Structure 1
Amino acid sequence: MAYTGNIGQVLTNIGLQDLWLPFALFFVLSFVALQKSGVLGHKDEDAKKYNIVISLVISLLVVVPHIMGVYPPNSDPVNIVNAAIPNVAILLVAIVMFLILIGLFAGKSGWTESMSGFIVLISFIAIIWIFLRAAGYAQYGGAFWSFLDNSEVQAVIVIILIFTLIVWFVTKEPGEGHFGDGIKSFFEGLGKGGHGGH
């Protein structure tokens, strides 16, 4: 444990979390965005050089003020990213586990055609919410939203969502692409089963 603690201290001292990782993240995201958008050209070799320089400048403009401590407390992008990324990673793990569970039952049934949009929408909303919470903006909701900070509540919500999606997939008829229809048929089946026992 002491050896592991020493490694962690060394990584902290060299600024791995506060300097190098944020710099690499912002640089890669900026460079990919510039390359894909083709603002400075798509096939021009000089455009790639310009994209590298611009990405480098953007990354330094984000990270250097953080190192110097000139950002306001709730407006430091590095702190926001450091606080949000672990929750985003948990969300990604939950989505991957859901896909694995569905894959065990679905095989190659093509369920993603009807569910991909829903998953993307929920993931987008969740990621936006995570970053708003990390930045402190979502705290204006007051005590009404504070229960979402409880890890047990978060786990229950994730379990309910995954269970609901699995129920929808298992109960939907072939060609049925609506999420609500699957849930409706599930509860209708429960009702028929209850009446059949009398």
Structure 2
Amino acid sequence: MIFQDFIYQLQYLGIQDVLLPFILIFTITFAILQKINIFGDGKKNIHVVIAIVIGLAFITPHVLWGTGTDPSYPYLSNGMLDLVVVMNAALPKVSILLVAIIMGMLMLGIFGREVSIAGTSLAGWAVILTIAFVAWAFASSAGFFGPPGTPRFFGFYIDQELLTLLIIIAAFFLVIMYITKEDNNDPGKGLGKKLKDLMGEFGNVINK
């Protein structure tokens, strides 16, 4: 197919292994520097230079010492961890998490529930579970839990069917807890309020 050949051509040119990781690291680094203003106001040019350097430093080991034989092998030819391979393997898992969150919100909306996680007591659990999932995605892609892509729980490998069942049970439990809980907490306090403020600040940085 023409589209498939086009994707293969982009892969051959290094779009996935070089350009996309560089753009992602550059964007995240630049946004953080713009937010914290460690060099003071009006130092956008310095932030750009630092972000470019960090982005190049991130992809250079992969370009120079990447094996290129197995896309799932997370180590360079010198034995060091290949960060580009780890990131490329972890991002689809993180994307699945985002899709699951959006689908959960849509389901709650269909059943007539107002979706407002950042202002409720459920926000704390949502943040903890999200951080844990992202950490697991990157750690498993780096091969810390055995062969890359093989899930393991407390040292024991589990198959995809059991993992899917556990995720469904956890998601069902969270939805039931959200629907049946009583909002007795002050929405202006707690981790949910802090998360909401953090999201607002990040949005302001993006809009600048």
Shorter-chain TM range is 0.7 to 0.9
Match of 1:153 among 162, 165, 179: 162
The higher-RCO structure (CA 8 Å, 6+ apart) is 2
1:126 to partner: Cα distance: 0.9
Report the AA paired with residue 137 of structure 1.
Answer: F
Please state how far the C-alpha of 1:93 moved relative to its aligned partner: 0.9
Query: Which of the numbers 100, 107, 116 marks the counterpart of 1:101?
Result: 107
Tell me what 1:79 maps to: 85
Other structure's SS at 1:137 match: coil
Q: Which letter does structure 1 place at the counterpart of 2:6? A: I
Q: Deviations over 1:47-88 (max 9, x none)?
A: 110000010011111112211126445611100000100001
- Going from structure 1 to structure 2, the CA distance change for 1:14 and 1:133 (only over 3 Å counts) comes to same
Q: Percent identity?
A: 31
Alpha carbons of 1:174 and 1:55: their partners in 2 closer, same or farther (altered >3 Å)? closer
Question: Please, which of 61, 64, 67 is the counterpart of residue 68 of structure 1?
Answer: 64
What is residue 163 of structure 1 aligned with on the other side? 172
In the alignment, which residue of structure 2 is the partner of 1:37? 36
Is residue 74–residue 135 contact of structure 1 (8 Å, CA) maintained in 2?
Answer: no
1:155-195: CA deviation from partner (whole Å, max 9, x where unpaired)? 22221112111221333345389xxxxxxxxxxxxxxxxxx
Q: C-alpha separation between the residues in 1 aligned to 2:31 and 2:135? A: 21
Give 3-state SS (helix, strand or coil) of 2:3's partner.
helix
Does the residue aligned with 1:119 lie in a helix, a strand or coil? helix
Unaligned runs of 5+ in 2: 67-75, 187-208
Structure 1 CA distance for aligned equivalents of residues 157 and 102 of structure 2: 27
Identify if the C-alpha distance between structure 1 residues 166 and 142 changes in structure 2 by more than 3 Å, giving closer, same or farther.
Answer: closer
Residues 157/74 of structure 1: CA separation in 2 closer, same or farther (3 Å cut): farther
Distance in 2 between residues matched to 1:131 and 1:158, nearest whole Å: 18
The DSSP-based 3-state class of the residue aligned with 1:138 is: coil
Mapping 1:1-198, distance limit 5 Å = 2-41=1-40, 43-44=41-42, 47-69=43-65, 71=76, 72=78, 75-108=81-114, 112-139=119-146, 144-147=155-158, 150-173=159-182, 175=184
1:74 and 1:136 in contact (8 A); partners too = no
Contiguous gaps of at least 5 residues in structure 1: 178-198
Whole-Å separation in 1 of the counterparts to 2:80 and 2:120: 40
Cross-structure match for 2:203: none
Alpha carbons 2:22, 2:55 under 8 Å: kept? yes
What CA RMSD, in Å, does the superposition of the two structures yield over aligned residues?
Answer: 2.5
Residue type of the partner of 1:144? Answer: G
Aligned residue pair count: 171
TM-score, scaled relative to structure 2: 0.73
Q: How far, CA to CA, are the matches of 2:116 and 2:55 in structure 1? A: 41
Displaced runs of 4+ in structure 1, greater than 4 A?
109-112, 140-143
Amino acid at match of 1:167: I
Asked which structure has the greater CA Rg, the reply is 1
Please, which moves more after superposition, 13-22 or 155-164? 155-164
User: Cα deviation per residue 1:20-71 (whole Å; 9 max; x = unaligned)?
Assistant: 1000011001111111111111x22xx1100000100111111122111264
Change (3 A) 1:155 1:9: same
